A and B are shown apart, each in its own frame.
Chain A
Amino acid sequence: MTEPTTLAIDVQGLSKRYGRTLAIENLTLAVPENTLFALLGPNGAGKTTLIHILTTILEGDGGKALVGGIDIKRNPVAARRNIGVVFQDPSLDDRLTAFENLDFHGLVYGVSGADRRAGIDELLALVELEQWRNAPVRTYSSGMKRRLEIARALLHRPRILFLDEPTVGLDAQSRARIWSYLAELRRRRPLTIIVTTHYIEEVEGCDLVSIIDHGKIIAEGTPEDLKRQHGHQSVRVMPADAAAAEAITAAYPAARKSSDGSIVIEVPDDTFAPAFLARFGTAVQQIAFEKPSLESVFLAMTGRELRDRAAEAARSTGGRRRT
């Protein structure tokens, strides 16, 4: 990455409280311009709250936040001109057509007639919805709706695009498509993209990642940095029988047992593999080396697996998300 001169997002000491729960706690975040930035964390970690504050839907309780260089507390209207937002829940008018939804957006954002027409054509082509231009949004699939929302958020040519869980609830093909549109967009024009997700694999391609949990940023850096600093190479072995499993866990007390019966052992150094194979080579059915992943980073930082927690959090906070 080149030397960043300006920050797209500059948050210092931001907090947000809902009654007695602290959703965001003294959070500090800096995102340079023109980066693809991912906010990774389980549901209920404070991702959506943070996005709502940065997009001026919610007001923070304390701290300072600059979006595109503009103080969002002092000048929310000016800040809104610079940002495009795709919310987690759809916000299209489904009785209107794709064109009408986009045209509405352009008018409300003060985009001139010529720019509106050109922009609508370009963006509908980008998200491959040209042939659905005059169909009511009611008839769209959820993947198509999400694509249309991305097109809409870009119509006023914002410098910063916020996407709150843009791929949640979509099938693998639709998810891949959305990421390919975003990549294509960044080739066409300078754009900072802030995306939240709890899908680890989607974060690998991002420039910068911050891991958020309980309203706090617990780690940040490029995906490679994070893996290097916090991740560990590990080996996953499938013991031949119960006796072998016992012997392995006795020899490596730090090993974790997985639900499928396999045992995961962190690799401390290069001497581990020959030593392990010499001793237990005949006691295992299967052995696999696992590269450090962001999943293991998250695990190392919080002691929990992201997915399990995601499911559990979704169950407990499912009703609370709407504002």
Chain B
Amino acid sequence: MLKLLAGIYAIWLREVKRAIRDRGQLIGGVSRPLMWVLIMGIGLNPYFRGEVFGEVRFAVPYTYIQFIFPAIIVLNIMYTSVQSAVSVIWDREFGFLREVLVSPMPRWAALLGKILGGTTIAVFHGALVLILARFADVTFTWQQLLHGLGLMTLLAFGLTSFGVVIANRIRSFEGFGVFSNAVILPLYFTSSSVFPLDPALTRAQTLVVYPEWLVTLVEWNPITYAVDSLRGAFIQFHQFDPALGPLVLGVMAVGFFIWALVEFRKA
């Protein structure tokens, strides 16, 4: 058992070391939230409150920067998680995978170490966003921070597993880059990250503001609930049932890990 933990630790450590030595990834992790907070956030801030659309009046009691702040954490985690799964392709391409495959470590443990490594890096990149909290006028207690980090870890774990599934199917670096971009941005934009679905409104009232296809996409997108749960943690604002967020994140983490394991066993 102890040996198994040592093995998982070794794989985790390797992932983390590689990420630290890859400067490009870190630069992306810093510049992305800066752009979103400083440009999108500050730029759209004045237009966010008090808008009147016919009968409907928005009642989101936050500034735009505060509103998108938790979503930026999610965006950073999405990019980093999925990107860290590239190492699966790298390992296959450059032979390192074999070193793991001939070792006495069970496949599930090897995969767990890898995904935990990716999760750690992604949570770290998510936490980088928190440094900007005071510029976004977001304040939270230690307890809220821990709550938030827990949710971030669940999200990162699920997304890294998802990344491994993609990496196992798309075996080239180029294909993976194209695919991950094609998946991350649509998921992000349809997660009610940059525009609110006012919880005070009924569905019929919401449909006055937004077309039905968009509302449906938002409701079906699991990332919506990740964003919602982080809003709950950091700005105490929920657009959906607060229990839904952790539930969706938990199901994603377990489901994607099992899927990744099935894929990895075939490798």
Q: Measuring CB to CB, which residues of chain A are less than 8 angstroms from any residue of chain B?
A: 55-57, 77-78, 80-81, 83, 85, 87, 89-96, 100, 103-105, 107-110, 152, 323
Q: Give chain A residues whose Cβ lies under 8 Å from the Cβ of B99.
A: 91-92, 105, 108, 152
Q: How far is the CA of A110 from the CA of B106 in the complex (A)?
A: 12
Closest A-chain residue to B2, C-beta based? A110
> What is the distance, in angstroms, from A78's C-beta to the closest C-beta of chain B?
7
Residues 89-143 (chain B) with a chain A CB within 8 angstroms:
94-106
Smallest CB gap from B18: residue in A: A95
User: Is A80 a contact of B104 with CB atoms below 8 Å?
Assistant: yes
List which B74-93 residues lie within 8 A (CB) of chain A: none
Name 28 A/B residue pairs within 8 A (Cβ), A-sorted. A57-B98, A57-B102, A77-B106, A78-B104, A80-B103, A83-B102, A90-B94, A90-B95, A91-B95, A91-B99, A93-B94, A94-B94, A96-B18, A100-B14, A100-B17, A104-B10, A104-B13, A104-B14, A105-B103, A107-B9, A107-B10, A108-B6, A108-B7, A108-B10, A108-B99, A108-B100, A110-B4, A323-B98
Q: Does B11 contact A (CB under 8 A)?
A: yes
B95 and A108: CB pair below 8 A? no
- Asked if A57 contacts B101 (CB within 8 A), the reply is yes
Contact A56/B94 with A108-B11, A110-B3, A110-B6 known, Cβ cut-off 8 Å: no
Residues of B within 8 A of A (CB): 3-4, 6-7, 9-11, 13-14, 17-18, 21, 94-106
Measured in the bound complex, the distance between the Cα atoms of B10 and A251 in whole Å is 71
Q: Assuming A95-B21, A107-B6, A110-B7, is B102 touching A56 (CB within 8 A)?
A: yes
Q: Which of A57, A89, A104, A109 contacts B104 (CB 8 A)?
A: A109
Minimal Cβ-Cβ distance residue in A for B11: A108
Residues of A within 8 A of B96 (CB): 91-93
What number of A-B contacts does a CB cutoff of 8 Å give?
72
Q: Are A77 and B14 neighbours in the complex by a CB distance under 8 Å? A: no
Distance, CA A89 to CA B98, complexed state (A): 10
Shortest Cβ distance from B101 into A: residue: A57
Which residue of the partner chain A has the closest CB to B99? A91
Q: Decide: A87 and B95 in contact? CB cutoff 8 A.
A: yes
Provided the pairs A87-B95, A107-B7, A110-B7 are in contact, do residues A93 and B102 lie with their beta carbons within 8 angstroms?
Answer: no
Q: Is the beta-carbon distance between A110 and B95 smaller than 8 angstroms? A: no
Residues of A within 8 A of B3 (CB): 110
Once bound together, how far apart are the Cα atoms of A108 and B3, in whole Å?
A: 8
- Please, how many angstroms separate the alpha-carbon atoms of A109 and B21 in the complex? 25
B-side interface mostly: helix
Residue in chain A with minimal CB distance to B4: A110
How far in angstroms is the closest Cβ of chain A from B8?
9
Query: Closest residue of chain B to A97, judged by CB?
Result: B17
Residues of A within 8 A of B11 (CB): 104, 108
In the assembled complex, the Cα of A87 lies from the Cα of B101 at a distance in Å of: 12
* Chain A residues, Cβ within 8 Å of B104: 77-78, 80-81, 108-110
Given known contacts A96-B14, A104-B10, A107-B6, A91 and B98 CB-to-CB distance under 8 angstroms: yes
Contacts of A57 in B (CB 8 A): 98, 101-102
A56 to B103, CA, bound (A): 10
Q: Which residues on the B side are within 8 Å of A78 (C-beta)?
A: 104
Among B3, B13, B98, max chain A CB count under 10 A is at B98
Quote the shortest CB–CB distance from B131 to chain A (angstroms): 27
B160 → A minimal CB distance (Å):
19
- How far is it, in angstroms, between the C-alpha of A94 and the C-alpha of B11 when the chains are bound? 15
Question: Looking across the interface, which residue of chain A has its beta carbon closest to that of B107?
Answer: A77
A83 and B104 alpha carbons, distance in the complex (Å): 10
- Least distance between A99 CB and chain B CB atoms (Å): 12
A95 and B87 alpha carbons, distance in the complex (Å): 12
| Separation of A57 and B92 alpha carbons in the complex (Å) | 13
What's the Cα separation between A27 and B222 when bound, in Å?
53
In angstroms, how far is the closest chain A Cβ from the Cβ of B2? 8
Q: In the complex, A95 Cα to B97 Cα: how many Å?
A: 15
Q: How far, in Å, is B6 (CB) from chain A's closest CB?
A: 5
Which chain B residues border A323 with CB–CB below 8 Å? 98
